[in-house]
Amino acid sequence: MSMKPRIVVTGIGVVTPIGSGRGAFWTPLTAGVSGGGTISAFDASPYATQIAAECRDFDPMAYMHRKLAGRMGRNSQMAVAAAMQAVQDAGLDLAGMDTARVGCCVGAAAGDFNTLEENHVEFLDRGAKAISPFCVPKVIPNMPAGNVAIALGIHGPNFAALSACATGAHSIGMALLLLRAGQADVMLAGGVESTITPFVLNGYVAMGALSKRNDAPARASRPFDKTRDGFVMGEGAGVLVLETLEHARARGAEPIAEVAGFGATADGFGLAQPDPEAAWTAKAMELALRDAGMSASDVQYINAHGTSTPANDRSETKAILKVFGDAPPLVSSNKSMIGHTLGAAGAIEAAATALTVKHGVIPPTINFEVPDEEIPLDVVPNVARSVRVEAALSNSFGFGGQNGVLAFRKV
């Protein structure tokens, strides 16, 4: 049996509520900075939830011409920005490469609801002629991947995973499999989301999923804390450059970490509620470890899905204890700082996990004040911790019970 080629991360691009670009993201993440605030994109004062984690400083014109930006939804703009950052971070010379061997898998949990809502209002007010010809190309959820290919001039495998909050993780997992299969030399992989709109916000409110701590937005996302009352919507993008270790070494690139394994399962249980017994989220972790050729004892850290909802945090804890027993590794949730970025979450958190492996610094779970007796984990509360991390998992669990887990290790 032939050995699987080793796949490494050589570049990271992120657009997040606390900073864009590898360093501008990693520094506040390890410092415990919150990106939560009162919504500025629209007047949310009439609504039960008025807070979110917005990318307030994102300027698409820093990455592309105004005309090109105008043809994209905000999610595509973020995806292209993150992809450009990642390519630069990796030192890739696309002009000197066979672009048919460079692919892209960047997914979104939803389309561009900003455009959808604006055009729907115009349609109701002024009729069919008011609809923009760019409405459908902006809204359909594969367009971030398509726009990345158009902006960068790449021609390899190009598609979008679509699996709710597991989208970013599944995108990276699919890219990993394509690289192992020899279908590409380099893949840009990740996820994006920008759905902080009145309609989507209130859809999550109707589900009872969002925090209502409107008077303390920076402290509203509190994964694993006993007083948690729901997640804080976030937006952003994360794109990783993945390539075979052989290809990276041939061009003199320095790997950040190895993407060693991928596991995916379905709860087959409920539309939004995770399986309370956590059998299939645990199985996804076990499959990622098996794919990586690792055992549970090899792992020092888990970047948790950690949404700050009562049901998810309990279920994820149960899954971790099923896999790791009475001595689980350190666990923390980036969502305490950047909110729940939905389709982007698995990708941004994968980027953070790769950087944790590289630097040996575990970002904290901020806003942790009241321990929950149902969660017997060390969640690295409030202050980052320096620990040598040889291997780590990144968990992503989506509505519909779609689970994706990535395993990373030092190169």
pLDDT digit string, tens, across residues 10-32: 999 999 999 999 999 999 999 99
Closest CA to 52 of 223, 222, 167, 211: 211
Output the pLDDT for position 2: 62
- What is the SS3 assignment for 409? strand
| CB distance 205 to 193 below 8 Å | no
CA 212 – CA 52 distance, rounded (Å): 10
- What is the SS3 assignment for 259? strand
Q: Which residues carry out catalysis?
A: 165, 305, 340
The H or E element spanning position 186 is strand 186-193
CA 262 to chain centre: 15
| CB distance 18 to 240 below 8 Å | no
- What tokens appear for 313 in the block? 């945090």
> Which ranges of 32-112 would DSSP assign to H, the alpha helix?
66-70, 74-90
CA 64 – CA 77 distance, rounded (Å): 9
Output the pLDDT for position 12: 98
Work out the number of other CB atoms within 10 angstroms of the CB of residue 91. Answer: 14
Residues linked to residue 20 through DSSP beta bridges, in sequence order: 15
Integer CA distances (angstroms), 246 to 32, 181, 283, in order? 36, 14, 31
Per-residue model confidence as pLDDT tens digits over 244-257: 999 999 999 999 99
Integer CA distances (angstroms), 262 to 7, 51, 60, 177, 357, in order? 12, 34, 32, 9, 17
Work out the number of other CB atoms within 10 angstroms of the CB of residue 101. Answer: 18
Output the pLDDT for position 275: 87
- What tokens appear for 264 in the block? 């995916």
Average pLDDT, the chain: 96
Kindly write down the DSSP assignment for every residue of 300-355, as one continuous string: -EEE----S-HHHHHHHHHHHHHHHTTS--EEE-THHHH-B-GGGHHHHHHHHHHH
- What tokens appear for 135 in the block? 């409405």
Work out the number of other CB atoms within 10 angstroms of the CB of residue 321. Answer: 17
Output the pLDDT for position 1: 47
Closest CA to 365 of 383, 352, 350, 342: 383
Residues linked to residue 151 through DSSP beta bridges, in sequence order: none
- What is the SS3 assignment for 370? coil
- What tokens appear for 8 in the block? 């490494």
| CB distance 190 to 89 below 8 Å | no
Q: 262's torsion region: left (phi>0), alpha (psi -120 to 50) or beta?
A: beta
- What tokens appear for 85 in the block? 């950052």
CA 76 – CA 148 distance, rounded (Å): 8
One-letter amino acid at 73 equals G
| pLDDT, tens digit only, all 411 positions of the chain | 468 999 999 999 999 999 999 999 999 999 999 999 999 999 999 999 999 999 999 999 999 999 999 999 999 999 999 999 999 999 999 999 999 999 999 999 998 999 999 999 999 999 999 999 999 999 999 999 999 999 999 999 999 999 999 999 999 999 999 999 999 999 999 999 999 999 999 999 999 999 999 999 999 999 999 999 999 999 999 999 999 999 999 999 999 999 999 999 999 898 888 888 999 999 999 999 999 999 999 999 999 999 999 999 999 999 999 999 999 999 999 999 999 999 999 999 999 999 999 999 999 999 999 999 999 999 999 999 999 999 999 999 999 999 999 999 999
One-letter amino acid at 405 equals V
CA 130 – CA 121 distance, rounded (Å): 9
CA 188 – CA 107 distance, rounded (Å): 11
